[in-house]
């Protein structure tokens, strides 16, 4: 009997009338979602197979091996605005809808992160919000959880009519998509990541998520929207294309508009599309609540926020805007340009078998480096903006699955990479000051050390990188990182108890400071927090807390092992097959050898490196 729920991909492909998103092999945005039926009443029944797909194995959902709980009590969150928001200490205190609270528990979120402690109650209270926190701090859940929770109790009243998923017939039952929530993201990968989070939090509710982005034929996404959509995530260009098709998409029911990675969105080339989205639709601006979220918040973003946010909006900042987290061990190595590839191979061999992202500054260099590593028999994949969307999604699937645990990418393309257990980020090229500078550096290394886990970021520094040396040195000092000898000349003189000065501070303009309404709160002890994240940029007394050491560069006593019997260079095992790059033939093999059944999991290595008992998780 057809229950009206999402079906496995194979079943959906076989039955074009099956409820759920059809043709799930077409693109990442067509992943199965919970399909609502009017016969359910207020809460839908559980679907075990979909629940496992969305939330993972029940036995491992609450595993937080490698999380750092020591600094949670001292993380500072400052808030500005006409009202003081009282932070929550647990999700149970947030007044969430019972179904949302259960979904939060299924997702393994045991305690809120610092940004979630303040953002969730603010949105529940109906405030416009600006949230500034380091990459990997849980910002996505900070706005999805309260928004969807509020709408769960109002969906039947506010949502647009949509066809019965069981009897839906293309060409007969299409409706105009009228989302209640619109989330704008700068990259396709980030849009898909947010969509996957929305799939979790919409589970067992009538709220239907969807995602649209470029690189996929319009007709496939039109077919999705024709079935109705309550929570729409998209990239600016594709959203504008649909806004100009009012029979497909209307914003007249819109209640929430979120700008994620606002700094990137307002970079050159995006502002016109974003203004079109925020002003050019048919939404009733008076009914829309706004949210801006990012790791940095430059003046351009502040100007747009002031234009659209209510005067009574609140702003939360975790640490210094644009700062990094102490959970990431940052290493800077001086090299000559011709030595880069040799040093890269050494790094990959020393920290073998763990998910690693390698950043370069050009699409051409992505292709060159991908070919080089592939020819060195390493399990590598890559992506950049010239690849087709299907190629980019195939690369992401290989990276997530661990068949290609090394990813080569440009910084902008990798904005949406949020993969568990990325333990090493390598800046093969440091970002130039003309193309992102230290803010780009922050976003890059934030691919590791996410929501409380620890990671390593290694940067290869050449003489060409001298313009970024000063602010890079201060960034290292801010989180108590070791300053290499060649950067010592850039160390600023800092008086005891005083913070390090950053001319590039992305969230400060003395002309914008309003009188009153500014509070600074310190997040209290939270215990073993499931999403515990980061450490303070600086304690209240001005002292920079000590961090665990990873060992000296190339030291024989380093906690990170240089080799292992089952590593990539082992004589007894070959590198696992990776999704071939655009310029690599799919028929290429790994020398005729069979790949190992499993690759050493990153959690074990990282835990050993940090002096924590190792538990190996296989990918």
CA distance 148 to 181: 9
- Residue carrying the six token digits 């409380």: 452
Q: What is the strand order of the sheet 518-522 is part of?
A: 209-212, 231-234, 181-184, 256-260, 289-294, 129-132, 314-318, 76-80, 518-522
pTM of the model: 0.65
- Residue carrying the six token digits 């207020």: 42
Angle at 396 between CA 47 and CA 62, to 5 degrees: 45
Measure CA of the first residue to CA of the last residue in the chain; give whole Å: 36
List, as one string, the DSSP characters of 324-373. Answer: --TTEEEEEEE--GGGHHHHHHHHHHHTTTSEEEEEES-HHHHHHHHHHH
Using DSSP's 3-state secondary structure scheme, residue 478 falls into helix
- Domains, the chain: 9-57+65-71+78-162+174-318 (3.40.50.300), 327-496+548-619 (3.40.50.300)
On the 0-12 / 13-18 / 19+ scale of CB atoms within 10 A, 43 is: middle
pLDDT at 535: 33
Using DSSP's 3-state secondary structure scheme, residue 62 falls into coil
Kindly report, residue by residue over 396-410, the tens digit of the pLDDT: 889 988 899 999 998
Q: Nearest to residue 411, comparing CAs of 396, 400, 401, 426?
A: 426
User: What does pLDDT average to in each consecutive run of 10 residues of the chain (619 residues)?
Assistant: 36 35 51 85 89 85 49 73 93 95 92 92 96 82 97 90 78 89 91 94 95 90 93 95 93 95 71 84 85 84 86 85 68 96 95 91 94 95 87 89 92 70 93 85 83 85 95 89 94 63 49 42 36 34 34 34 37 39 37 32 34 31
CA distance 162 to 178: 10
CA distance 126 to 437: 36
Angle at 233 between CA 275 and CA 288, to 5 degrees: 55
- Give strand ranges (E) for 13-109: 76-80
């Amino acid at each position: 009997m057809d229950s009206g729920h999402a079906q496995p991909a194979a079943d959906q492909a076989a039955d074009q009338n099956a409820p759920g998103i059809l043709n799930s092999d077409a693109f990442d945005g067509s992943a199965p979602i919970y399909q609502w039926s009017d016969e359910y009443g207020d809460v839908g029944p559980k679907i075990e197979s979909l629940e496992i797909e969305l939330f993972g194995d029940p036995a491992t959902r609450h595993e937080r091996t490698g999380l750092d709980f020591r600094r949670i009590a001292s993380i500072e969150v400052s808030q500005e605005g006409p009202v003081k928001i009282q932070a929550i200490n647990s999700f149970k205190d947030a007044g969430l809808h019972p179904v949302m609270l259960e979904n939060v528990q299924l997702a393994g979120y045991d305690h809120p992160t610092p940004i979630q402690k303040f953002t969730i109650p603010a949105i529940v209270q109906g405030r416009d919000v600006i949230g500034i926190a380091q990459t990997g701090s849980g910002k996505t859940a900070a706005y999805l959880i309260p928004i969807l929770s509020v709408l769960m109790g109002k969906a039947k009243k506010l949502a647009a009519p949509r066809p019965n998923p069981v009897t839906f017939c293309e060409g007969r039952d299409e409706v105009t998509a009228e989302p209640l929530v619109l989330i704008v993201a700068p990259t396709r990968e980030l849009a898909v990541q947010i969509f996957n989070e929305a799939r979790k939090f919409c589970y067992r509710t009538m709220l239907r998520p969807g995602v649209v982005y470029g690189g996929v034929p319009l007709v496939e996404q039109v077919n999705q929207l024709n079935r109705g959509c309550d929570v729409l995530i998209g990239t600016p260009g594709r959203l504008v294309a649909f806004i100009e098709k009012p029979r497909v998409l209307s914003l007249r029911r819109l209640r929430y508009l979120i700008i994620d990675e606002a700094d990137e969105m307002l970079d050159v080339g995006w502002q016109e599309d974003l203004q079109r989205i925020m002003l050019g639709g048919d939404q009733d601006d008076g009914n829309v609540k706004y949210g801006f979220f990012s790791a940095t918040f430059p003046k351009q973003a502040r100007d747009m926020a002031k234009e659209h946010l209510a005067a009574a909006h609140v702003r939360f900042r975790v640490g210094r805007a644009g700062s990094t987290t102490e959970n990431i061990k940052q290493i800077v190595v001086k090299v000559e340009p011709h030595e880069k590839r040799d040093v890269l191979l050494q790094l990959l061999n020393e920290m073998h078998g763990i998910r690693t992202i390698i950043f370069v500054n050009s699409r051409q260099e992505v292709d060159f480096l991908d070919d080089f590593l592939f020819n060195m028999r390493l399990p590598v994949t890559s992506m950049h903006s010239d690849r087709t969307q299907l190629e980019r999604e195939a690369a992401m699937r290989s990276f997530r699955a661990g068949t290609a645990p090394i990813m080569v990418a440009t910084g902008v393309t990798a904005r949406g990479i949020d993969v568990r257990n990325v333990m090493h980020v390598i800046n093969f090229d440091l970002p130039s000051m003309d193309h992102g500078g230290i803010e780009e550096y922050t976003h890059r290394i934030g691919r590791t050390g996410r929501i409380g886990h620890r990671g390593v970021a290694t940067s290869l520094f050449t003489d060409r990188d001298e313009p970024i040396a000063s602010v890079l040195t201060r960034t290292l000092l801010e989180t108590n990182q070791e300053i290499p000898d060649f950067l010592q000349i850039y160390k600023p003189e800092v008086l005891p108890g005083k913070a390090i000065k950053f001319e590039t501070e992305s969230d400060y303009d003395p002309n914008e400071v309003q009188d009153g309404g500014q509070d600074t709160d310190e997040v209290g002890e939270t215990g073993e927090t499931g999403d515990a994240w980061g450490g303070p940029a600086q304690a209240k007394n001005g002292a920079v807390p000590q961090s665990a050491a990873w060992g000296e560069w190339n030291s024989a006593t380093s906690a990170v092992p240089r080799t292992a019997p089952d590593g990539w260079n082992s004589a007894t095992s070959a590198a696992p097959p990776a999704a071939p790059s655009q310029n690599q033939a799919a028929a290429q093999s790994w020398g005729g050898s069979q790949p190992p059944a499993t690759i050493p999991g990153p959690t074990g290595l990282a835990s050993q490196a940090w002096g924590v008992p190792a538990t190996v998780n296989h990918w």
